[in-house]
Amino acid sequence: MSKKQEIISFKVEEDLAEVIKQLPNRSQFIRQALLAALDSTCPLCQGTGQITQAQKPHLNEFLKHHSLQQCDSCEAVFFACDEHHEEEVQTHVSGSPG
Q: What is the per-residue pLDDT across 5-50, written as a single tens digit (0 to 9) for each?
A: 899 999 999 999 999 999 999 999 999 999 888 888 888 898 889 9
CB 32 within 8 A of CB 24: no
> Taking the complete model, does pTM exceed 0.85, yes or no?
no
Distance (Å, whole) CA 83 – CA 81: 6
Domain ranges in the chain are 8-40, 49-98
The mean-pLDDT minimum among 65-69, 80-84, 93-97 falls in 93-97
**In one letter, which amino acid is 82?**
D
DSSP letter for 53, please.
Answer: T
Cβ partners under 8 Å of residue 13, min gap 6: none
